[in-house]
Amino acid sequence: MRQVTFAVGLTVLCWWAVPVHAACPPDSVAAGNACIDTYEASVWRIPPWNSALVEAVQAGTATLSQLTRGGATQLSPSPSCSPGFPRNFPVDGQWTPVPGSSPPSPGVYAVSVPGVPPSTCITWFQANEACSLSHKRLLRNDEWQRAAASTPDPGTDNGTTDCNIASTYAPSDTGSRSKCKSAWGAFDMVGNASEWVSDWADRAVNCTSWTSSAPVQSIPGSDLSCFGGPGGPGDMSLPAALVRGGSYFDGPAAGVFAVDAFVHPSESFYALGFRCAR
């Protein structure tokens, strides 16, 4: 932000000029002043010799065909959680470099592309690092809420175009549910894989729904709210990282207001993924 001053005769006019957000890369959409990944993250191991592919991922221009042609392997495709994350990319996110990588890297990157299963079975620590290695970051809770605006909440699930909230098997491929799209252009914010956001909170004791607990005139629907400590049995001092949107088996409890503070940052789950932002 910079101060701009113009002199008009003897009158000086000053105001703060707010910079306009630059155009977002092809893998993301503009949601207010942030670039939000269009698709839920898929995590790829990229060989260290393919620096051009790493640079394309970090620039937000990599395509699925470039990844597969470039020797990349998707990690933890749902629901099998296999292949898992490499030993040098452990659950606490404390990665070690792949030999020969320059600059040092674990060779693991988060990518926003359509047509693949979202990568799940990932801890908050790993998701945070995967975004950072791709020159991105996890969304803040407020950014996630904004980017999800106007996604059907949760609507029906016809198995083809609606948000995936009623499958007992697996999330859909990213972007394959054409009606599950926010006003900003982000796919699968509701259902499919639930998504880590950057914020932490006291671990929830129990859950409710917005309709049963909030004033009647505020928010309709059955969106789940698991929020408010202190802690849970046996882990009173551990935090939770917020999880948003609900997953493919949550039914009406999924939605743009669904928030879950039950999951520790070091835990993972076969229906829990993430997306990144710039």
Q: Which residues pair with 243 in a beta bridge?
A: 196, 260
pLDDT for 262: 87
Taking alpha carbons only, the member of 193, 196, 154 closest to residue 175 is: 193
Give the helix/strand (H/E) hosting 144. helix 141-147
CA 154 → CA 162, 204, 231, 264, distances in Å?
9, 23, 29, 26
Torsion of CA 68, 74, 79, 80, to 10 degrees: 110
pLDDT for 214: 57
The distance from CA 110 to its chain's CA centroid, rounded to whole angstroms, is 10
Q: What are the extents of the domains in the chain?
A: 28-277
Q: What DSSP string describes 52-113?
A: HHHHHHHHT---HHHHHHTT-EEESBTTTT-S---TTS-TT----PPTT-SS---SEEEE--
pLDDT for 227: 60
What does the pLDDT profile of the chain (278 residues) look like in tens digits? 334 333 434 444 433 333 344 699 999 999 999 999 999 999 999 999 999 999 999 999 999 999 999 999 999 998 889 999 999 999 999 999 999 888 999 999 999 999 999 999 999 999 999 999 999 999 999 999 999 999 998 888 999 999 999 998 889 999 999 999 999 999 999 999 999 999 998 888 777 776 666 555 456 667 666 666 554 555 555 688 999 999 999 999 999 999 998 888 999 999 999 999 99
pLDDT for 118: 97
End-to-end CA distance of the chain: 18
Helices (H) and strands (E) in the chain, counts: 5, 15
pLDDT for 102: 87
CB atoms within 10 A of CB 24: 19
pLDDT for 234: 54
pLDDT for 19: 39
Report the SS3 class of residue 129.
helix
pLDDT for 2: 39
Which residue carries 């505020």 as its tokens?
218
pLDDT for 43: 98
pLDDT for 12: 40
